[in-house]
């Protein structure tokens, strides 16, 4: 069943429990239909406290489990996840409007592949080693507060829970309250896998209440947060008085430089598809495309044809390539930014404001491409988080690199062209991940940002290391 029976409860200390007095509730909306499909309990600070203290009580016993046993536990989670794979895909299609084919091949797959990668990385991880007369040891940091977003629900849950468990941490997870269905299913999986009581806990709630309490709580040793830069700064501020570790994966405005020597048709079409994947709701989406000025008009025509070939509509239809955006708030924000692009003088190539033709409900955005964008325009600087692409012309590669780096963000970047040239440009870009010629997703490469896109790195051994403290035992003697 895609909608868990436990949305009115929290998973604390190995059991589903009712919220404490003072908790409220909210409707979970299907963004494709604007219908309420479930009711979600929203916790209080007291609920967060109960989960945190359960995690604290469980830490000492769990963190000394042998690594092999922790790996076996995560393997059991993976096995049950795979058995319920279709439920996860259905849940994410419902809660965020993802086309069902995309929910299966990308959203549910992301959870699966990150758990697999973490297991493999754990087997190869250097948990301790000798350096001279000292023993260098990696061990779990403690109680981790995990705050995950709505746009890649299982990707981010898996990227936090799996390495935290492998590292020997205990944890409290707060999924996004507007896409909570898959998080509840994941808690059911952890319960069925036999995760010891208190090691994994889940509390639903809002950021300003539950998220803030988790960030500030003195018994939390680390916060791992994925979301907007605005919310990330609030998390860091709340965590600062207790000097806990804060890992953040935040916003982005990723540049896609198409070199003069690139295959223009393939590069532009691939860039449009990359930008509009997940309905443009990916923090690392290539939303700023830089093309040689002499090729600008041709690039606009390629982008228009690619965008207009996409099918926006019912996520249940096998023909749909773009579903709705997540909410009315997000829809209105995107509409305002599209209008801003028009008002500031960018060339509207295709798309624009309003619902796509033939749709009269749901938060559907017309796939939109702007040309003749300049670096000072709002659509070139602000993260839109929808299917909106800004194309900027450049005269020299040096100019393209300078414009690409002229942003407060630095999560990802993209370069298209012959490898020797693309590699050289990649080294000049200030971003945590640089993708050359639209490669396959590498779940063993580090993922995280420069500048206001965050700090820390996720995926495989990088994620495990983030949840570890490093201890030097000096005078240890020979191993």
Q: Per-residue pLDDT tens for 75-89? A: 999 999 999 999 999
Q: What is the pLDDT of residue 137?
A: 98
| Interatomic CA distance for residues 345 and 108, integer angstroms | 40
By the 8 A CB rule, do 153 and 107 touch? yes
- The burial class, CB within 10 Å (0-12 / 13-18 / 19+), for 20 is middle
**What are the CA-CA distances from residue 378 to residues 210, 337, 350, 374, 407 (Å)?**
33, 8, 18, 9, 12
* C-beta atoms surrounding 319 within 10 Å: 9
| Interatomic CA distance for residues 91 and 35, integer angstroms | 15
* pLDDT, tens only, 130-169: 999 999 999 999 999 999 999 999 999 999 999 999 999 9
Catalytic annotation on 190?
no
- Domains in the chain, please, with CATH? 10-250+453-474 (3.40.605.10), 255-442 (3.40.309.10)
Q: For 159, what's the count of Cα atoms within 13 Å in the CB-facing half-sphere?
A: 30
Catalytic residue among 249, 275, 458, 468: 249
Strand partners, 138: 470
Torsion angles phi and psi, residue 178, rounded to 5? -95, -5
| Interatomic CA distance for residues 347 and 393, integer angstroms | 12
Catalytic annotation on 283?
yes
The radius of gyration computed from the CA coordinates of the chain, to the nearest angstrom, equals 23
Q: What is the pLDDT of residue 1?
A: 58
Q: Encoding tokens for residue 247?
A: 């890992």
Nearest to 207 by CA among 147, 124, 278: 147
Q: Encoding tokens for residue 58?
A: 């469980």
**What are the CA-CA distances from residue 69 to residues 13, 142, 173 (Å)?**
20, 18, 22
**Helices (H) then strands (E): counts for the chain:** 16, 20
Nearest 10 degrees: Cα torsion 352, 353, 354, 358: 0
What is the mean pLDDT for each group of 10 consecutive residues in the chain (479 residues)?
88 98 97 97 98 98 98 98 98 97 98 98 97 97 98 98 98 98 98 98 98 98 96 96 97 98 98 98 98 98 98 96 98 98 98 96 98 98 98 98 98 98 98 98 98 96 98 92
Angle between helices 181-192 and 85-96 (to 10 degrees): 160
Q: What burial letters (b/e) apply to 180-206, b meaning 16+ CB within 10 Å?
A: bbbbbbbbbbbbebebebbbbbbbbbb
| Interatomic CA distance for residues 15 and 17, integer angstroms | 6
Q: What is the pLDDT of residue 469?
A: 98
Q: What is the pLDDT of residue 2?
A: 76
One DSSP character per residue, 200-221 reads EEE----IIIIIHHHHH-TT--
Q: What burial letters (b/e) apply to 228-245, b meaning 16+ CB within 10 Å?
A: bbebbebbbebbeeeebb
Write down the pTM of the prediction. 0.96
Strand partners, 260: none
- The burial class, CB within 10 Å (0-12 / 13-18 / 19+), for 343 is exposed
Q: Where are the beta strands (DSSP E) in 80-207?
A: 128-131, 134-140, 143-147, 170-174, 200-202
């Amino acid at each position: 069943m895609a909608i868990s029976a436990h949305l009115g409860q929290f998973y604390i200390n190995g059991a589903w429990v009712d919220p404490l007095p003072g908790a409220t509730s909210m409707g979970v909306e299907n963004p494709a239909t604007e219908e309420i499909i479930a009711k979600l309990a929203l916790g209080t600070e007291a609920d967060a406290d109960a989960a945190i203290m359960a995690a604290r009580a469980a830490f000492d016993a769990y963190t000394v489990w042998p690594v092999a046993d922790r790996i076996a536990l995560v393997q059991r989670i993976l096995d049950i996840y795979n058995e319920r794979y279709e439920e996860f895909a259905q849940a994410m299609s419902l809660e965020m409007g993802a086309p069902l084919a995309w929910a299966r091949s990308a959203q549910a797959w992301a959870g699966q592949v990150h758990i697999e990668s973490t297991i493999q990385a754990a087997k190869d991880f250097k948990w301790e080693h000798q350096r001279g007369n000292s023993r260098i040891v990696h061990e779990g940091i403690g109680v981790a507060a995990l705050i995950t977003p709505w746009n890649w629900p299982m990707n981010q849950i898996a990227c936090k829970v799996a390495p935290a468990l492998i590292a020997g941490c205990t944890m409290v997870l707060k999924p996004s309250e507007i896409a909570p269905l898959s998080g509840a299913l994941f808690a059911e999986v952890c319960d069925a896998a036999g995760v010891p009581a208190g090691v994994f806990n889940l509390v639903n709630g809002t950021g300003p209440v539950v998220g803030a309490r988790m960030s500030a709580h003195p018994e939390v040793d680390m916060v791992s947060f994925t979301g907007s830069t605005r919310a990330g700064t609030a998390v860091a501020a709340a965590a600062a008085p207790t000097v806990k570790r804060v890992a953040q994966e935040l916003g982005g405005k990723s540049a896609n430089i198409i070199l003069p020597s690139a295959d223009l048709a393939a590069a532009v079409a691939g860039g449009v598809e990359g930008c509009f994947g997940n309905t443009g709701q990916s923090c690392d989406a290539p939303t700023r495309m830089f093309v040689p000025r002499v090729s600008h008009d041709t690039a606009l025509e390629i982008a228009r044809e690619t965008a207009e070939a996409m099918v926006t509509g019912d996520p249940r239809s096998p023909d749909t390539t773009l579903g709705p955006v997540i909410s009315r708030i997000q829809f209105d924000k995107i509409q305002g930014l599209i209008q801003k692009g028009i008002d500031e003088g960018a060339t509207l190539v295709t798309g624009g404001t309003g619902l796509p033709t033939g749709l009269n409900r749901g938060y559907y955005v017309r796939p939109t491409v702007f040309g003749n964008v300049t670096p000072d325009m709002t659509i070139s600087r602000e993260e839109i988080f929808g299917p909106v692409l800004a194309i900027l012309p450049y005269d020299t590669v040096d100019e393209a690199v300078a414009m690409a780096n002229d942003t407060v963000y630095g999560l990802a970047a993209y370069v298209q062209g012959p490898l020797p040239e693309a590699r050289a440009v990649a080294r000049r870009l200030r971003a945590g991940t640089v993708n050359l010629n639209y490669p396959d997703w590498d779940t063993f490469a580090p993922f995280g940002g420069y500048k206001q896109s965050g700090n820390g790195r996720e995926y495989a051994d990088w994620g495990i290391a983030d949840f570890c403290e490093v201890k030097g035992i000096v005078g240890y003697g020979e191993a």
